[in-house]
Chain A
Amino acid sequence: MTMLAARLRSCFVVLVLVAGSVVPAAAEQKAGQADITDFTLANGMQVVVIPDRRAPIVTHMVWYKVGSADEPPGKSGIAHFFEHLMFKATKTYPEGAFDKAIAAIGGSNNAFTSYDYTAFYETVPPEALGEMMAFEADRMRNLILDDKTIVTERDVILEERRARVDNDPSSLLEEEVDATLWQNQPYRIPVIGWKQEIEKLDRADALTFYDHYYRPNNAILVVAGDVDAETVRALAEKSYGKLERGPDLPPRIRPVEPEQNTRRTVTLTDARVGEPSFSTQWVVPSYHTAKRGEAEALDLLSEILGGGPRSRLYQELVVRKKIATSAVASFQGSMLDDTNFAVYAEPRDGNSIADVEAATNAEVARIATGGVTEEELDRAKDRFIRSTVFARDRQDAMANMYGATLATGGTIEDITDWPDRIAKVTADQIMTAAARYLVPDRSVTGYLLPKTQVAN
């Protein structure tokens, strides 16, 4: 459940937001919405333009359809490592020239890696868009990597791994839960990679990865902000358009899960843990793998079950029974392959994990057998649909939404139609989804315990 940023600053954003609760795959409203334009360059690079003329700012992003789940066996972490290496010298520019050019205009930039994609972005005044494209197109093909650069940057990502994982018991547990939930799918491997494999990544691994995936026909350009589609097209033709199309990549067909028939538990006891907590996870379809309407039902299910203070888990466990300090649910919809649905809770002083877990399971079962009310459903739909209006206030959020959807097998229509599809979900569909997927005997529960406490 990780997305990694190359450099610290935006990583704050990621961390803060991840700490929040559940998220619908927000989409935008059709009514009154500025026109989204999309086209494809001759070399196969996809382009999406999202105008937002309120302030003289543009967000320029290049998304590569490759993430950690595409890595070869034994090379975990190469996708993220390579993302870092993209900030190094090219045949055209010395190391740091791109960062310097961005700083000179007060811009900001960063990059991030997830299971299914890797993205690079710059937020700059619109006059600089052409320059950003020139730099970004240059590093898509012209990177120079020497051994010294590789070794130093590998130390940086090992430090990043220590900061994110080793220093944080909940991250350590999350890695182990993922490795248990996924018996076959590559989502079992952490985005940042296993330490012993990161330590061995070398120049040859990096170059192979670069040659294979960093091609215009494997990339999506997303530009949001104070610019029109024709300007973007002209600038993109002059920069990205000059790049040679790479060999066609095979379809992204990865190992999928076998039938799961066991209930598994993973326990981490750590002296740094103050309060115990647990989470239970299930394998469920994503927007890309689900039958039409099923992912939408799972999204609404997570909202009604544990999407905030009005949700059943919060109301029942935190407000009425007073046995938990927090209780939430989440569904990660924008994934290329099957994804996970999770519930999480923390007992309130003196209450046992077992009681809180039983109460959580009871709420899940209550929806699986009794469904949800029309009122709950209408309220959840209203929250989702208004979130699409609020999303339009942030051009970076809009750019991220389009990039992530397109990089995980979705289309622009999937985003623009989303509110309509949400509106059509019935209470029955939600009950069916809960009954079908949230089965205790096909789950993984992770326990995070203080060193003094005995499990259950």
Chain B
Amino acid sequence: MEATPKPFHARLALGVATLFLSAFFLILPVLSARAAVAIQEVKSDKGVTAWLVEDYTVPIVAVRFAFDGGSTQDPPGKEGLANLMTGLFDEGAGDLDSDAFQTSLDDAGAEMSFNETRDAVYGSMRMLAERKDKAFDLLRLAVQHPRFDKAPIDRIRAQIVASIVSGERDPDAVAARKWAEAIYGGHPYSRSAQGTKESVASLTAEDLHALHKALFARGGLHVAVVGAIDAATLKRKLDEVFGDLPAEPALQAVPDAELKLGQRLEVNYDRPQTSLQLAYPGVPRDAPEFYAAALMNEILGGGTFTSRLFKEVRDKRGLAYSISSGLMNSEHSSSLVIGTATRSDRAAETLAVIRDVVKGMAGEGPTAEELAAAKAYTVGAYAINNLDSSASIASTLVELQIEGLGIDYMQRRAGYIDAVTLDEVKAVARKLLSVDPAVMIVGPPLPDGSKG
């Protein structure tokens, strides 16, 4: 029985905000005038910059930061290095071994977590305002002096290997790997962030220290802080935590990915439900038609229960519980991905319905009414989706810095969206959705002739 279901548990909130932003950061900010958040730019004596939202309503401080360079920086054969590293920052730093560090963290009443994406390593901390000195000091140690001791390395490695082994038997996990390899070819994005059993077995403390040294530098750092702290205090904390890092990171250059679409992949497994995924080209975050593409995606299968795909696949036909589309934007690739899970005996029908909806969007585009509704949603949803807690505000501000959108972006965003014309949306729909997609089918083989 789910009782006090975990959604009520505040401790996990940071993780959730992270997940949404990193996995689905498509519809970017906009605020109604009233929702404007007062963001201060704070620059420390040693030149570390952070965006601060000062708020004393709840006596806590949320810190979020990112260093450029994520799992793409794993050296060849050392796949999984960044992922292992992010599991070890609270496992010993400075003079404190794992046990001493975690005891101190508990004493400080703080929670610390790290994770990586393909393009960055993220850290988050949530602390009680009254114990923030101790918490910031532990963050300083973790960021500057992680120990990477053998015992915690082996323990966290064992957990990662267990997860890799589980993935080998799970059809959806097998499919995800096959998909990445097929779509990205030889690009670093094709590699598993978690690594393989062999690559993870080969990782050493020296590898970890080398990656830490290469990535953790002031030059690739983005910081946001929200809560009960003033600018003068934050300045000092920024210098303590980040001020002594090297000036610039030593990053391996990563080329832009050429997506290999127009292929059909299958993972056959006898089960009652089939997963379907379709990938079309996307639009880079800095392309002029980005907002037109975001609005088109919203109408096609975005974040509301009113999208075309939701209506046709679920509401009208009952073919699936979940059906959606999203713009997947990474630093070096962009795509539009549609995903659903449908009863296996009607998977071919579901695929045909999706193809049909896509064809309609590519051919005629949306109606003026649909576009107006999508604009209203996209403008209004910003505050609710991105600013509903200290942790989510901090995450949002870090993403804005990574995207280079500017500290006043929230005031400008509605204007960008309102300016998009129906013709621009039609044009981008035609451009993206006329392309033959990559299709992934996970389940029993589809009947012959269902070309999808």
Contact flag A394-B318 (CB < 8 Å), given A346-B162, A386-B109: no
Q: When the two chains form their complex, are residues A274 and B384 in contact, meaning their CB atoms are under 8 A apart?
A: no
Alpha-carbon gap, A334 to B9, bound state (A) = 13
Assess whether B32 is interfacial by the CB under 8 Å rule.
yes
Q: A334-B3, A348-B162, A349-B161 are in contact. Are A123 and B343 (CB under 8 A)?
A: no
A155 to B318, CA, bound (A): 5
Q: Kindly state whether residue A389 has any CB partner on chain B within 8 Å.
A: yes
Segment 292-310 of A: residues with Cβ below 8 Å from B = 309-310
A269 and B341 alpha carbons, distance in the complex (Å): 24
Number of A interface residues, CB 8 Å? Answer: 103
User: Could you tell me which residues of chain B, from 160 to 174, have a CB within 8 Å of some CB in chain A?
Assistant: 161-162, 165-172
Tell me if A108 counts as interface (CB < 8 A to partner B): yes
Pairwise interchain contact A274-B169, C-beta atoms closer than 8 A: yes
The reply to whether the CB of B305 lies closer than 8 angstroms to some CB of chain A is yes
For A340, list chain B residues within 8 Å (CB).
1
In the complex, whether B431 has a CB less than 8 A from a CB of chain A is no
Flag if B377 contacts A152 (CB, 8 Å). no
Residues in B with CB closer than 8 Å to A18 are 2, 5-6
Does B411 reach chain A (CB closer than 8 Å)?
A: no
* Stretch of A54-62, A205-213, A259-267 on the interface side: A54-62
Q: Report whether B324 and A275 are in contact in the complex, using a CB–CB cutoff of 8 Å.
A: no
Contact in complex: A23, B9 (CB < 8 Å): yes
Q: A residues within 8 A CB of B409?
A: none
How many angstroms between the C-alpha atoms of A109 and B319 in the bound complex?
Answer: 22
Contacts known (A20-B15, A56-B32, A167-B273); A274 close to B168, Cβ less than 8 A? yes
Q: How far is the CA of A103 from the CA of B55 in the complex (A)?
A: 29
Contact across chains for A274 and B165 when beta carbons are under 8 A apart: yes
List chain A residues, Cβ under 8 A from B280: none
Q: Give every chain B residue within 8 A of A326 (Cβ-Cβ).
A: 159
Q: Mark A140-163, 1 if CB is under 8 A from B, else 0.
A: 000000000001111111111011
Stretch binding the partner chain, chosen from B203-211, B236-244, B257-265, B309-317: B309-317
Most buried by B among A95, A109, A325: A325
**Are A17 and B16 in contact (CB-based, < 8 A)?**
yes
Residues 55-79 of A, flagged 1 when their CB comes within 8 A of B and 0 if not, give 1110000000000000000000000
> Given A340-B1, A389-B59, are A404 and B8 neighbors across the interface (CB < 8 Å)?
yes
Most buried by A among B9, B60, B343: B9
Given contacts A7-B305, A57-B384, A107-B381, contact A152 B155 (CB under 8 A): no
Give the size of the chain B interface in residues (CB under 8 angstroms).
89
Identify which of residues 343-366 in chain B touch chain A, using a CB-to-CB cut-off of 8 Å.
Answer: 343
In the complex, B405 has a CB within 8 A of chain A: no
| Residues 1-51 (chain B) with a chain A CB within 8 angstroms | 1-13, 15-16, 19-20, 32, 34-35, 37
| Complex CA distance for A191 and B271, rounded to whole angstroms | 22
- The yes or no answer to A278 lying at the interface (CB within 8 A) is no
Give the distance to chain B from A116, nearest Cβ to Cβ, in Å: 8
A354 interface residue (CB < 8 Å to B): no
A187-B1, A322-B155, A404-B5 known; A386-B128 Cβ under 8 A: yes
Which listed residue, A3, A96, A151, A393, touches B10 by the CB 8 Å rule?
A393
Q: Is the CB of A397 within 8 A of B13?
A: yes
> Which residue of chain A has its CB nearest to the CB of B387?
A55
Interfacial chain A residues near B12, Cβ < 8 Å:
16-17, 20
Contact call B7/A13, Cβ cutoff below 8 A: yes
How far is B378's CA from A389's CA once the two chains are assembled, in angstroms? 32
| In the bound complex, CA of A168 to CA of B161 (Å) | 20
Residues 1-37 of A, flagged 1 when their CB comes within 8 A of B and 0 if not, give 1110001110111101110100111100000100000
Q: Complex formed: what's the CA distance from A159 to B340 in Å? A: 11
Residues of B within 8 A of A382 (CB): 106, 109
Quote the shortest CB–CB distance from A436 to chain B (angstroms): 20
Question: How far does the alpha carbon of A387 sit from the alpha carbon of B12 in the complex, in Å?
Answer: 10
A8 with B169: CB separation less than 8 A: no
Check if A367 is an interface residue, CB within 8 A of chain B: no
B390 touches A393 (CB 8 A): yes
Q: Do B318 and A154 touch (CB < 8 A)?
A: yes
Residue of A nearest to B19 (CB): A16
CB distance from A365 to the nearest CB of B (A): 24
Task: Give chain A residues whose Cβ lies under 8 Å from the Cβ of B106.
Answer: 310, 379, 382-383
Residue numbers in B under 8 Å from A178 (CB-CB): 1
Residues of B within 8 Å of A272, CB to CB, are: 169-171
Residue of A nearest to B323 (CB): A8
Task: Say how far A398's CB is from chain B's closest CB, in angstroms.
Answer: 9
* A39 contacts B by Cβ under 8 Å: no
User: Which residues of the other chain, B, contact A273 by a CB distance below 8 angstroms?
Assistant: 166, 169
Chain B residue numbers with a CB within 8 Å of A159 are: 273, 318-321, 341-343
Shortest C-beta distance, B291 to chain A (Å), equals: 15
| Interface hits, A384-433 → B, CB 8 Å | 386-397, 400-401, 404, 408
Of the residues B11, B35, B319, B321, contact of A163 by C-beta under 8 Å: B321
Q: Given A14-B5, A404-B4, are A125 and B32 also a contact pair (CB < 8 Å)?
A: yes
In the complex, chain A residues whose CB is within 8 Å of the CB of B58: 389, 392-393
| Complex contacts, A191 vs chain B, CB 8 Å | 2
What residues of chain A lie closer than 8 Å to B391, measured between beta carbons?
393
Task: Please tell me if the beta carbons of A55 and B383 are within 8 angstroms of each other in the complex.
Answer: yes
Which residue of B has the minimal Cβ distance to A107?
A: B384
Q: Are A390 and B126 in contact (CB under 8 A)?
A: yes
Contact present for B60 and A393 (CB under 8 Å): yes
Q: In the complex, are the beta carbons of B388 and A123 less than 8 A apart?
A: yes
Measured CA separation A158–B57 after assembly (Å): 45
Check if B330 is an interface residue, CB within 8 A of chain A: no
| Other-chain contact of B388, A12, A333, A390, A394 (Cβ < 8 Å) | A394
Nearest-neighbor residue (CB-CB) of B17 within chain A: A394
A166 at the interface (CB under 8 A from B): yes
Give complex CA distance A383, B103 in Å. Answer: 12
Give complex CA distance A109, B373 in Å. Answer: 16
Complex alpha-carbon distance, A153 and B158, angstroms: 43
Cβ-based interface call for B382 (8 A)? yes
| Contact A26–B3 (Cβ < 8 Å) | no
> What's the Cα separation between A158 and B4 when bound, in Å?
26
Chain B residues contacting A52 (CB-CB under 8 Å) are: 57
Known contacts A20-B9, A106-B376; A335/B318 CB under 8 A: no
B445 interfacial contact with A, CB 8 Å: no
Known: A8-B322, A271-B169, A390-B126. A26 touches B381 (CB 8 A): no
Report which residue of B20, B62, B304 has the largest number of chain A beta carbons within 10 angstroms of its beta carbon.
Answer: B304
Tell me how far the C-beta of B186 lies from the nearest C-beta in chain A, rounded to whole angstroms. Answer: 28
Taking a contact as CB atoms under 8 Å apart, the answer to whether A23 and B8 are in contact is yes
Residues of B within 8 A of A16 (CB): 12, 15-16, 19
Residue on A with the closest CB to B442?
A167
Pick from A95, A163, A187: contact of B273, CB under 8 Å: A163
| Bound CA span A152–B311, Å | 12
Structural contact, A25 and B273, CB atoms closer than 8 A:
no
**CB <8 Å contact, B389 and A394:** yes
A-B pairs with beta carbons under 8 Å apart, 18 shown: A13-B16, A26-B10, A103-B306, A104-B376, A105-B377, A105-B380, A153-B318, A156-B314, A156-B321, A159-B273, A159-B342, A273-B166, A325-B159, A333-B3, A390-B11, A393-B58, A393-B62, A401-B4
Given contacts A114-B3, A114-B5, 12 further A-B contacts (CB under 8 A): A9-B303, A55-B37, A56-B34, A96-B315, A106-B380, A106-B384, A272-B169, A335-B3, A349-B162, A387-B11, A391-B8, A404-B4
Q: Which 7 A-B pairs have the closest CB atoms?
A: A106-B380, A155-B318, A274-B166, A17-B6, A332-B3, A106-B381, A8-B322
> CB within 8 Å of A: which residues of B?
1-13, 15-16, 19-20, 32, 34-35, 37, 55, 57-60, 62, 98-99, 102-103, 106, 109, 111, 126, 128, 151, 154-155, 158-159, 161-162, 165-172, 271-273, 303-306, 311, 314-324, 341-343, 373, 376-385, 387-391
